[in-house]
Amino acid sequence: MRAQVVIVGAGPAGLLLGQCLLQSGIDAVILEQRPAQYVLGRVRAGVLESGVVALLERLGAADRLHAEGLVHEGFDIAFAGGRVRIDLAGLTGKTVTVYGQTEITKDLMDARAAAGGNTVYEALDVALHDFEAERPSVSCIKDGKTLTVECDFIAGCDGFHGISRASVPAGAIRNYERVYPFGWMGVLADTQPVSEELIYVSHERGFALCSQRSRTRSRYYVQCPLSEQVDEWPDERFWAELRRRLPADAASALVVGPSIEKSIAPLRSFVAEPLRFGRLFLAGDAAHIVPPTGAKGLNLAASDVHYLAEGLIAFYKNKNSVELENYSARALARVWKAERFSWWMTKLLHRFPEEGDFGRRMQLAELEYISASRAAQTALAENYVGLPY
Ligand SMILES: Cc1cc2nc3c(=O)[nH]c(=O)nc-3n(C[C@H](O)[C@H](O)[C@H](O)COP(=O)(O)OP(=O)(O)OC[C@H]3O[C@@H](n4cnc5c(N)ncnc54)[C@H](O)[C@@H]3O)c2cc1C
């Protein structure tokens, strides 16, 4: 088989890139190791910057998002018995949209199928070949047979544990990493969200987040030790712990119900540099990870795709390779700023056992400063809604 571009991974990065290329008449095949239903079932991100919404609009995949997504003009930070509202719209003129990653995935899969895009699901043992040379290829095992796709470029969109970054020789890549000493215990429930807007909570017992996927589906998180397992968190324990951390009015308004998904996510900051190795490009979680506190992961995958698609389209349509040459630097400039913001939000809102009482007083002083300073709120808000592409 031959394609102009092989995309490894059909998560948000791979599907977005596939759709950008398909729309420009560039022939790209996606190789995904999991079945489509498994990819659709992964419950993850839910808060979209306006840049992702604009990208989905350009791709003709935003109709359901506009019909069902919830536009949020602000969010609350609760601490020490009080709350401050960050008025995103008032401070920046921008909003975020709450719409689940599973829904975006479905919309992009449907758009790809309608446009006749080729996605090979259950592509096993994917291997990247000769990406430092002129004629790279990607092979996999499909239905017991070896499938090899020759191509001009490979886009590694296969997430943090994928094969693309792992295929780069150690000497050619530099990794920057911080692993946080706790995780997020998350519960998805078909209950009415406790508040119209998100509530981030900095509490003595640890961080909590009241998020949502729709008006009838809630997503809640509590900070938990990494040593704990999901089966140590029956629903009753989770709801009781969440209530303890919420402000009194939210705790009494909380509607609980059976969890429909429950998982513990470790928190990590990670960046690999550069993002280009000959004819291989990395994008999305394959290249970087942020702790979910700033809601930036999927949004960063989309901004990478924006830059990479621009580069590939300029190469094929205008025979201009400048933007491809610049892809790594352009994408990383935005990635590092989102890494900084996600790290800062994480440090501000979580209990770090090793920081002790002094660390806690510093957090509270900073939260009080933010509450009283429009300048500090503006800095927070403009990062939260997303820096420009
Ligand atoms: C609990 C949680 C909450 C989050 N909340 C938010 C949020 O509110 N906002 C936000 O923006 N982000 C959030 N994120 C992050 C977001 O989900 C990710 O950043 C996003 O999924 C990255 O997309 P991706 O396509 O780069 O990678 P992935 O979604 O990981 O997709 C990679 C794909 O590649 C496939 N693959 C892997 N290895 C191979 C291989 N060897 N061969 C072929 N295919 C392969 C995988 O099966 C997968 O389908 C959250 C994440 C978590 C865990």
- Using most ligand atoms within 8 A of CB, pick from 285, 304, 334 the residue to mutate for ligand 1: 285
Whether 353 shows a pLDDT value over 90: the answer reads: no
* Residue 302 pLDDT grade (very low, low, confident, very high; cuts 50, 70, 90): very high
Does ligand 1 come within 6 angstroms of the Cβ of 117? no
Integer Cα distance of 257 and 192 in angstroms = 10
Order the strands of the 124-129 sheet from edge to edge.
124-129, 137-142, 145-150
**Average pLDDT of the residues of the chain:** 96
Give the pTM. 0.95
Does ligand 1 come within 6 angstroms of the Cβ of 285? yes
Output the pLDDT for position 43: 78
User: Ligand 1 atom closest to Cα of 296?
Assistant: 11
Does ligand 1 come within 6 angstroms of the Cβ of 296? yes
In the chain, how long is the greatest CA-to-CA distance? 64
* Residue 42 pLDDT grade (very low, low, confident, very high; cuts 50, 70, 90): confident
Does ligand 1 come within 6 angstroms of the Cβ of 292? yes
Atom 27 of ligand 1 has which residue's CA nearest to it?
159
User: Ligand 1 atom closest to Cα of 49?
Assistant: 11
Cα radius of gyration (the chain):
21
Does ligand 1 come within 6 angstroms of the Cβ of 156? no
| CA nearest neighbour of 347 among 186, 247, 197, 223 | 223
* Residue 41 pLDDT grade (very low, low, confident, very high; cuts 50, 70, 90): confident
User: Ligand 1 atom closest to Cα of 9?
Assistant: 34
- The catalytic residue positions are 72, 200, 292, 296, 384
Return the SS3 of 186. strand
